[in-house]
Amino acid sequence: MKISTNIFIIILSFIILMIFSSGNVEKDRNDQPEEMTFQINQSLLGKKYSDSELGFSFSPPSGCKQMPKNMVQQVKGKIQKSLVSPDSLVLEPNQFFMNEDERFFCLLTVHPTLTLSDSSISFYHQVIENSAEQSEVQHSTYKYKNFLIYQSLIISEQMINFKLLIPQANHKSFQIDYIVPKSIYAKKIEVIESSIGSLSKQP
């Protein structure tokens, strides 16, 4: 099973943005993020996905089918070939969910080298902004169910990307991206909110 050219281009472009948007994160000790609440509509969610290694579960949007692991490996291989140096790869594809007809994607990736003390979150934000110069970028930080979440909203002419960076100890930091065409964003905002709200820590 191969990824169609259009779908591959979309996934690859956002993954590469994530790679070059990756940095080591240090929490601002003077910042006290607020606890966030989400309205969850279970009818808008798909089957729960659990990752025991990362210690969390969530439900992707309904209609976004989980891609087979071999397809994830295809994307990972293409990303590695696209980089000047393999050492630049600090973010690894873990699992993708997609609604190909609507071009609506949910991407789960892992930051194997991210720590909480090496550099500032402002650097992370700055690199995202530099990588999305033609887009509007909004940042926010909040807590939810014992997760500290750094959210970046990237609004381009055609696509909208919710980027959630969730730092964790022991090389288990991860990121969830929701990528949706701007033309259907208004119809999908409740879906995205419900999916984010489904995040939960696993023992």
- Confidence (pLDDT) at 203: 74
Kindly state the average pLDDT of the residues 132-139.
83
Whether the Cβ atoms of residue 99 and residue 85 lie closer than 8 Å to each other: no
Domain residue spans in the chain? 5-201
Of 46, 85, 82, 80, the C-alpha closest to 65 is 46
CA distance 69 to 148: 28
Q: Which CATH architecture has domain 5-201?
A: 3-Layer(aba) Sandwich (3.40)
Is residue 29 pLDDT above 50, yes or no? no
Residue 12 pLDDT exceeds 60: no
Rank 7-11, 15-19, 43-47 by mean pLDDT and report only the highest.
Answer: 43-47
Tell me which amino acid residue 2 is. Answer: K
d(CA 152, CA 149): 10
Q: What percent of the chain has pLDDT over 90?
A: 47
Instruction: Give 37-52 pLDDT, tens digit per residue.
Output: 999 999 999 999 999 9
Residue-wise DSSP of 22-36: -------TT--PEEP
pLDDT in tens, 151-173: 999 999 999 999 998 988 887 88
Return the percent helix, strand and coil in the chain, to nearest 5.
Answer: 30, 30, 35
Please report the pLDDT score of residue 23 as a whole number. 43
What's the rounded Cα separation, in Å, for the pair 163 and 139? Answer: 9
